[in-house]
A and B are shown apart, each in its own frame.
Chain A
Amino acid sequence: GAGVSQSPSNKVTEKGKDVELRCDPISGHTALYWYRQSLGQGLEFLIYFQGNSAPDKSGLPSDRFSAERTGGSVSTLTIQRTQQEDSAVYLCASSLGARYYEQYFGPGTRLTVT
């Protein structure tokens, strides 16, 4: 079946603009995660959804970052007033639930803030 998809695959934006990143998880996966990975850096957790709720949003770096999930499916990560330090690959992953160790990752969105 279809895996996790993300769009756009690449996004170049000017500093100060808002961006929206989309994630379509695997159908039936109740858990959804957003991570980001800066060049040469490790994986940084941003937020976790169980269904449409976000019980753990401890990784969001500032209040410019927000995310929502609707219908227990699609999720959108929004970054307002983008800064150059926001440049990274934003990865979405889904799983059957938090107790499942197997997360399926999408291909990521490469965000470049100029």
Chain B
Amino acid sequence: DAKTTQPTSMDCAEGRAANLPCNHSTISGNEYVYWYRQIHSQGPQYIIHGLKNNETNEMASLIITEDRKSSTLILPHATLRDTAVYYCNTMGSGSGNTGKLIFGQGTTLQVKP
């Protein structure tokens, strides 16, 4: 099961920033936070991951709190194509890690014109 909690749904106006929260209060020291999204009828798509420092790539920014118990995914200028289910989870980086993804219910983000 996913070890995170996310709001079930959120709305965002097109062109505005979308801020998606994720709670991972039981995260352990060697676990990364990762985000994927799934647009309707498509396979999941990797967005970003991070350990403790904030991360940014061409898709999004990831802000992780200092205690690492929560994080926020930021889509700086949401477009209609960003409407999707967004999944957050944690995964260890040790040698026993198989990399299998576990998704909870995620947050359904609806970007509105």
Interfacial residues, chain A to chain B (CB-CB below 8 A): 31, 33, 35, 42-43, 45, 48, 55-56, 59, 91, 93, 95, 97-108
- Say yes or no: B45 contacts A98, CB within 8 Å: no
Q: What are 30 A-B pairs at a CB distance below 8 A?
A: A31-B99, A33-B99, A33-B100, A35-B101, A42-B103, A43-B101, A43-B102, A43-B103, A45-B100, A45-B101, A48-B98, A48-B99, A48-B100, A56-B100, A59-B100, A91-B43, A91-B44, A93-B43, A93-B44, A93-B101, A97-B99, A98-B97, A98-B99, A101-B99, A102-B46, A102-B49, A103-B44, A104-B46, A105-B43, A105-B45
Q: Is the CB of B105 within 8 A of A108?
A: no
B22 to chain A, nearest CB (A): 15
On whether A100 and B101 interact (CB within 8 A), knowing A91-B43, A105-B43, A105-B45, the answer reads no
The number of residue pairs between A and B whose CB atoms lie closer than 8 Å in the complex comes to: 58
**Is A99 a contact partner of B43 (Cβ separation < 8 A)?**
no
Is the CB of B28 closer than 8 A to any CB of chain A?
Answer: no
- On chain A, the residues within 8 Å of B45 by CB distance are 105
Query: For residue B49, which residues in chain A have a CB less than 8 angstroms away from its CB?
Result: 101-102
Best-buried of A33, A55, A59, A105 by chain B (most CB within 10 Å): A105
Interface of chain B, main secondary structure: loop
Of all chain A residues, the one with the shortest Cβ separation from B45 is A105
Residue B43 contacts which of A101, A102, A107 (CB distance < 8 angstroms)?
Answer: A107
